Amino acid sequence: MAYPTVAGPYGLQPINLIGGQVFAGSTRLIPIDTGYGTNIFYGDVVKLSSAGTLNKDVGTDSATPVGVFLGVTYTNASGDKVNSQYFPASTVSADIQAYVADDPDILFKIAVVSATTTISGVLRTSVGNNAILVQNAGSTITGNSKVALGVTTGTTATFPVRVIDVVPETTNSSGSYTEVIVKWNFGLHQYNNATGV
């Protein structure tokens, strides 16, 4: 059976850990401030604020990630417990908790775009290089992120991710790959940087 065509970006999907270790779905619950005014979607890059709460990280050619957002739980105004794929902007609740894949060693699968949501590709020579993120608005229907990897790769130290591998099944007629495997670039993850939040 053929690998499905990559129709559009879908954020960062955890697949395993560096060195072949298994990603067992482990997450950390991190609070989001009540009334926080930005949507956060499944697969979005997130960071800790100076208050110790979670914010969306909108960095493209630099970022200070704590991890990737994988859902949220909170009590709504009716008193019902809500478990959601995404955090709706300006949600008011005293117990908002985000599920975050925060291990600095996680590897992620991500789609490659030329601009916004137009699927593109990178050559195998991008492996080992750093890359930028493209911050697209996620879907309030599916709750999924549309963050993607830009085609620009290089040795710039502030680029947020490093390309670890390509997804071989996604090679196109020009020899480019529409999906790659990435990890956080050295020293940028908030648990690993020298200065903290």
Q: pLDDT tens track of the chain, all 197 residues? A: 567 789 999 999 999 999 989 999 999 999 999 999 999 999 999 999 999 999 999 999 999 999 999 999 999 999 999 999 999 999 999 999 999 999 999 999 999 999 899 999 999 999 999 999 999 999 999 999 999 999 999 999 999 999 999 999 999 888 999 999 999 999 999 999 988 88
Q: Strands 28-31 and 45-48: what pairing?
A: unpaired
Type of residue at 189: H
pTM, two decimals, is: 0.96
| Count of residues making up the chain | 197
Closest CA to 147 of 45, 33, 34, 52: 45
Reference 149, options 197, 114, 106, 186; nearest CA is 114
60, HSE (Cβ side, Cα atoms, 13 Å): 9
- The gap from C-alpha 176 to its chain's centroid, in whole angstroms, comes to 22
The answer to whether the CB of 85 falls within 8 A of the CB of 142 is yes
